[in-house]
Amino acid sequence: MKTLVVYASKHGCAQNAAEKLAKAFGQDAIANNVRNIARIDLEDFDRIIIGGSIHAGRIQGPVKTFAQRNLNLLLQKQTGLFICHMEEDTEKAMKELTDNFPVPLVEHATAKGLFGGEFDLDKMNIIEKFIIKKVAHVTESVSKIHEENIEKFIAAMKD
């Protein structure tokens, strides 16, 4: 089964997750940044996973556009959706995911992954650092990746 993982990532968290997924699906799987997606023929793939990270409640615009533009094709494939996020309330995090993809795609998806995330102060610009310190009261880098959710997501997609 050929697998494509399409992702966007600001500081590398969603990129790492996308690469991990591609590795888990074996030789017939690739992870591709949504910025370079024009080079890829989506018809070649049986399974398409889409993910990104949440910043101020929103996923990256190109991820949203990709899902909207290719909706009809995506509904004919096995699909999975994931986000990197720091919202700790599972219900709220799931809402962040479902609010950022077209409803039919959310309903069609085999798996929806809440992968957790990281606040990496070294990778943030001054504005991001300001927001994070003010809103999330974060003063040092922190990693809260939900490895178990990544494993569950992979298992559900392979089922």
Ligand X SMILES: Cc1cc2nc3c(=O)[nH]c(=O)nc-3n(C[C@H](O)[C@H](O)[C@H](O)COP(=O)(O)O)c2cc1C
Residues that bind ligand X (CB under 6 A): 9-14, 53-57, 84-87, 96, 117-119, 124, 128, 131-132
Query: Considering beta carbons, is residue 2 or 123 the nearer one to ligand X?
Result: 123
Phi/psi at 50 (5° precision): -125, 135
| β-pairing verdict for 47-53 and 116-119 | unpaired
Q: What is the CA radius of gyration of the chain?
A: 15
Query: Considering beta carbons, is residue 30 or 132 the nearer one to ligand X?
Result: 132
Q: Cα(102)–Cα(149) distance, rounded to whole angstroms? A: 22
Query: Considering beta carbons, is residue 71 or 145 the nearer one to ligand X?
Result: 145
Query: Considering beta carbons, is residue 37 or 86 the nearer one to ligand X?
Result: 86
How near is the Cβ of 46 to ligand X at its closest, in Å? 26
How near is the Cβ of 70 to ligand X at its closest, in Å? 21
Residue-wise burial string across 121-134, b where 16 or more C-beta atoms lie within 10 A, e elsewhere: eeebeeebbeebee
Task: Tell me the residue number closest to ligand X, measured at CB.
Answer: 117
